[in-house]
């Protein structure tokens, strides 16, 4: 079998007495959506921060695209092909949708330090911007400021910016958070085919969406992965039901 695109080995991180990550090992393979679920405070955000590079693990290694990236910062990992979205939308509020996507396209093309050409005259980049906006259903909203679009649209804008990075993996932190049923359905449809472009590590609270999308699920409780397997295995795992799904039976 091929080497996983992203793999964590025994990753640990402690804050004071709190073990936020306790020997986490995790693989993400080509073509799959791997969902990471767990109750609030289980350490999902801490783990995502370590994968994205904004937090350094105390011990353990993180390999990505065949290289050890444990000691690299977030921008270096992004350049190597890690595309992420944030739990709380981190788009540039004062930019239009177009400028937000353009930022990602030009960064990806290595043109972010071009000083004398006009950003808006870069036809090739502009065409890509339109394409990505269309894919996430924001083509009509290109000239609206990001602070003025709806919450669901902002989440999709994040996906568009991740897409524009042409990443080797997607790391998506609760892309459906705060969405209504309709928004969740739209996002589910959007993410479903993405796994063929690059595998997705999906942190999500909405169980319906997770069960609909995931090829594999890992369950994180108190910084440890207590179970990992297919949707059916996780649904029927008695420990998971007890610890996480709150099932008394």
Nearer to other proteins, 116 or 181 (CB): 116
Q: What minimum distance in Å lies between the beta carbon of 130 and other proteins?
A: 17
Q: What minimum distance in Å lies between the beta carbon of 19 and other proteins?
A: 20
**Site stretch for other proteins (CB under 8 A), options 17-25, 106-114, 128-136, 224-232:** 106-114
Nearer to other proteins, 157 or 221 (CB): 157
**Sheet with strand 200-203: strands edge to edge:** 82-85, 169-173, 200-203, 33-37, 216-221, 224-229
104 is an interface residue for other proteins by CB under 8 A: yes
Nearer to other proteins, 34 or 154 (CB): 154
31 is an interface residue for other proteins by CB under 8 A: no
Q: What minimum distance in Å lies between the beta carbon of 94 and other proteins?
A: 5
Count of residues that bind other proteins according to CB under 8 A: 39
Nearer to other proteins, 115 or 181 (CB): 115
Both tokens assigned to 122? 């870069």
What is the CB neighbour count within 10 angstroms for residue 231?
16
Which residues from 34-93 bind other proteins, rule CB under 8 A? 52, 54, 73-76, 78-79, 83-84, 86, 90-93
Among 99, 128, 218, 228, binds other proteins (CB under 8 A): 99
Q: What minimum distance in Å lies between the beta carbon of 104 and other proteins?
A: 4
Instruction: Using CB under 8 A, list all residues that contact other proteins.
Output: 52, 54, 73-76, 78-79, 83-84, 86, 90-95, 99, 102-104, 106-108, 111-120, 122, 161-162, 164-165
């Amino acid at each position: 079998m091929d080497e996983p695109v992203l793999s964590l080995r025994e990753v640990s991180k402690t804050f004071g007495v709190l073990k936020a990550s306790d020997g986490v090992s995790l693989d993400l393979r080509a073509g799959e959506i791997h969902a990471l679920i767990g109750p609030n405070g289980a350490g999902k955000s801490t783990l995502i921060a370590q994968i994205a590079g904004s937090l350094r693990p105390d011990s353990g290694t993180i390999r990505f695209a065949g290289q050890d990236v444990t000691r690299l910062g977030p921008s270096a990992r992004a350049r190597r092909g890690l595309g992420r979205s944030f739990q709380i939308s981190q788009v540039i509020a004062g930019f239009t949708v177009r400028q937000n996507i353009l930022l990602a396209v030009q960064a990806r093309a290595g043109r972010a330090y071009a000083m004398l050409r006009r950003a808006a005259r870069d036809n090739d980049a502009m065409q890509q911007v339109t394409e990505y906006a269309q894919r996430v259903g924001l083509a009509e909203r290109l000239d609206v400021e990001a602070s003025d679009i709806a919450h669901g649209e902002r989440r999709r804008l994040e996906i568009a910016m991740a897409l524009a990075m042409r990443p080797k993996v997607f790391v998506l932190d609760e892309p459906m958070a705060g969405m209504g049923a309709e928004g969740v359905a739209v996002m589910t449809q959007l993410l479903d085919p993405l796994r063929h472009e690059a595998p997705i590590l999906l942190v999500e609270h909405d169980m319906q969406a997770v069960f609909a999308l995931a090829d594999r699920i890992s369950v994180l409780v108190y910084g440890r992965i207590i179970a990992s397997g297919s949707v059916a295995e996780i649904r029927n795992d008695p420990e998971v039901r007890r610890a996480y799904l709150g099932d008394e039976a």
